[in-house]
């Protein structure tokens, strides 16, 4: 039986990955919370690499006041690690900064 490697943590993906943009296709709250009390949300994202869109999933921790950052149709900053976007992380800090700059 083969071993499935663990994905790197989101902070590692953000530090080492290539920056990009993705569109939120779906958001689903999990009911689970991180150590800071933020709810974990699973996002389905359409990431465009060249002319070929790639659909991926990511998990982000958000306060209720931040849900607009990841509404369906929202474009979010991401980092992608690996060939053809094997691992993606949403740069939620950059999304917060972009919202504040509007």
Closest CA to 45 of 34, 60, 62, 64: 60
Residue 2 has pLDDT above 60, yes or no: no
Is there a domain that residue 5 lies in?
no
Instruction: Please state the rounded mean pLDDT for residues 70-78.
Output: 95
pTM of the model: 0.83
The total number of structural domains in the chain stands at 1
Range(s) of the domain holding residue 63: 10-101
Is there a domain that residue 49 lies in?
yes
Is there a domain that residue 51 lies in?
yes
CATH number of the domain that residue 73 is part of: 2.40.50
Is there a domain that residue 1 lies in?
no
Is there a domain that residue 3 lies in?
no
Output the pLDDT for position 84: 52
Is there a domain that residue 63 lies in?
yes
Is there a domain that residue 2 lies in?
no
Dist. CA 42–CA 5, nearest whole Å: 20
Instruction: Please state the rounded mean pLDDT for residues 89-94.
Output: 92
Is there a domain that residue 45 lies in?
yes
The percentage of residues in the chain with a pLDDT greater than 90, rounded to a whole number, is: 61
Closest CA to 77 of 87, 88, 66: 88
18-33 β-sheet, strand order: 52-62, 39-49, 18-33, 75-81, 87-90
Residue 49 has pLDDT above 80, yes or no: no
């Amino acid at each position: 039986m083969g071993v499935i490697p663990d994905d790197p943590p989101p902070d590692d993906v953000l530090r080492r990955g290539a920056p990009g943009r993705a569109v939120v296709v779906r958001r689903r709250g999990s009911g689970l919370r991180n150590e800071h009390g933020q709810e974990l949300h699973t996002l389905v994202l359409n990431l465009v690499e060249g002319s070929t869109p790639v659909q991926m999933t990511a998990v982000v921790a958000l306060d209720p006041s931040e849900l607009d950052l990841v509404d369906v149709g929202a474009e979010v900053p991401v980092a992608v690690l690996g060939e053809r976007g094997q691992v993606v992380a949403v740069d939620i800090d950059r999304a917060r900064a972009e919202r504040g700059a509007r």
